[in-house]
Chains A and B, each alone.
Chain A
């Protein structure tokens, strides 16, 4: 009799949704998470409000976590990592490691949901000085400040009078090797811009961009309100470098619409860092022998019609481990992965 359970790696939004889906369909979901709690990057990185609906990330992640923690069909392994895997569809054997030691578990199918990591701005080719200037921060750093309702210049603890975002840091860049668009940063920067204007109405906010990519409803949910209601200034022309004069940051660049140089004083510069595959994603690709693309994200092989099937039969992937994804994408692909994983269990059982 083939195994009637699905092992899910990663307890972020995609992993939680996949586990809930499998469990709701009446199968056993074995959810493995390396941290001591569920919630993934939105929890670990202290996200404030979610994009695009501004719902509290803490509250939303708690709701998702409660749904799996209290589910009779979910077997939760916190503080655990996958260290080895063998077998094939219907009969995988996976080694889990935690503080107490190793154990082997059986599963008929596997879903990888190990997500992404934020791009490290130390690797950018421009000179934005993230590790040089205290007041140059990332979207992630600002998210944490917004959550604490304490948006201040790290250098002096004062609230900023002028704050800007620089888009596409670590994305759309051939020299860095990340030729893809990270998809979410335009929306997240605009969402954070709105939150800054809400918390600090006296702070002027600017967004320097190449192209604003606010597809679908993000246009009307975030972009238009940011510009129309919250008076965020969008300027076409990305900054080339950040300098410091006295205790003021200066953003140097070109206003590309007018073709004129600009040197704009700022109190805080926020780098809109993109997505790269997480260490866990790279590790799982190795352990399960999955094909990856040139950026080390897990490759799905079904094209536009199947976004979760990997090169290994019985192993599925969802969320941002397959490429840049927003929360909406991650939840959708997680449901698809749960469905495909359960389907393959049923087909294997019928064939046996």
Chain B
């Protein structure tokens, strides 16, 4: 990656051999001065390269008002934001080879406040796609791309084991290949299928669906990653290929709606799949469950102070702020406390837009992880449970609880885990 350090021209270093100033001998290096580097020209080629891309146009709209930077989650722990990116590219920085390219989590908080609609959600994948084609990709992200390509999931787990978690779910989890037809197709996604903490949430949801008598099925080994985060990280080819495969698979079955655990899958299936011919009614599990709460029997009082982290791709990207809160407030003994940054202005866990696979890279550019910052905020408001409903968040926040020394003070729970806990052992 290209270094962005300013070089100093030796001719611009002034160092007088013999100088005595007010009786003080300041000869040689003691009077060394650097002449400020002169900006000779503005290399507009770099900005032109970005704005020529489909999706990159709006970077050129920036009029430098600076409203985006204070709400950029990366800027809070680093030095970042769309206005700064625009300015540096305008000054000739090659965004395609710049570390600036990979820090955006596509959380969309900048677009929310931007009067010119400079759209990082379009700009980032467009520029990253070019960077990927030219091979300027951080290694760990490249690994996640390759895992997805080889195994159908970014974790690099065996595709044959995608439904392995269902065996000890304790309740039936029907597979569409056998069932053919269901009211609800549950698109489980990768982290809820493979990550141990994701599996905990999947088992909890399976139990609740059974309890409610929902007629559902999963795709099991036929399911592939929706690749929404890979798409936003620049692997658009991979996204398209998998979208076509998933659409083809789902065509074989009859169902009325798709239920998702992962807001990133929600985003892909709801907003992107229609472009490839897959038009579905897609709902996040919190939206699905919120109106059915009275059908669940809560026997266990929880006595938790809970704060809720709005996932970027459920809240800002897809407009759902109420359902998770409705569920939490329905649980006996739960006191819901809001963090300062919540709802539309919620902070970001750092996992979106490829951030899930860039922690090593990001460590060089930020003072602490976004997830660490968020955990501190949760502790500050006096919560003892940080509730989440995106599978990226459980693992990210649990790591952050440990690294910030908050073990014993705060636990991280998926909302569905709290629902099952409140239902009790029966």
Contacts and interface: CB of A to CB of B under 8 A. Distances in A.
A157 interface: no
Given A174-B116, A254-B81, A256-B83, A237 B65 contact: yes
B115 A261 contact: no
B70 A168 contact: no
A211 B63 contact: yes
A253 B69 CA distance: 7
B67 A240 contact: yes
B64 A175 contact: no
Interface in A218-262: 236-241, 252-256, 259, 261
Interface string A35-46: 000000000000
Most chain A CB within 10 A, of B63, B79, B112, B115, is at: B115
B115 A174 contact: yes
A116 to B, nearest CB: 20
A253 B72 CA distance: 11
Interface of B: 63-71, 75, 79, 81, 83-84, 87, 112-117, 345
Interface of A: 125-127, 168, 172-176, 210-211, 236-241, 252-256, 259, 261
Given A236-B66, A253-B67, A259-B69, 5 more contacts: A210-B64, A240-B69, A253-B66, A254-B81, A261-B70
Given A127-B345, A256-B83, A259-B79, A172 B115 contact: yes
Contacts of A237: 65-66
A236 B64 CA distance: 9
A240 B115 contact: no
B70 A126 contact: no
A252 B64 contact: no
Contacts of B116: 174
A210 B113 CA distance: 14
Given A241-B71, A256-B83, A210 B65 contact: yes
The 4 residue pairs across chains A and B that have the minimum distance between CB atoms: A256-B66, A173-B115, A254-B66, A254-B69
A126 B71 CA distance: 10
B115 A252 contact: no
Contacts of A172: 63, 115
Nearest to A171: B115
B75 A261 contact: yes
A254 B75 CA distance: 11
A289 B345 CA distance: 43
Contacts of A239: 67
A175 B117 contact: yes
Contact of A175 (B75, B114, B345): B114
| Of listed B66, B75, B87, B345, residue having the most chain A CB within 10 A | B66
9 contacts: A127-B345, A175-B114, A176-B115, A236-B64, A238-B67, A240-B68, A254-B66, A256-B83, A259-B87
Contacts of B345: 127, 241
Contacts of A240: 66-71, 113
Contacts of A256: 64-66, 83
B60 to A, nearest CB: 14
A128 B52 CA distance: 35
A177 to B, nearest CB: 11
Contact of A241 (B63, B70, B114): B70
Contacts of A259: 69, 79, 84, 87
Nearest to A169: B115
Nearest to B111: A175
A127 B84 CA distance: 22
Contacts of A168: 65, 115
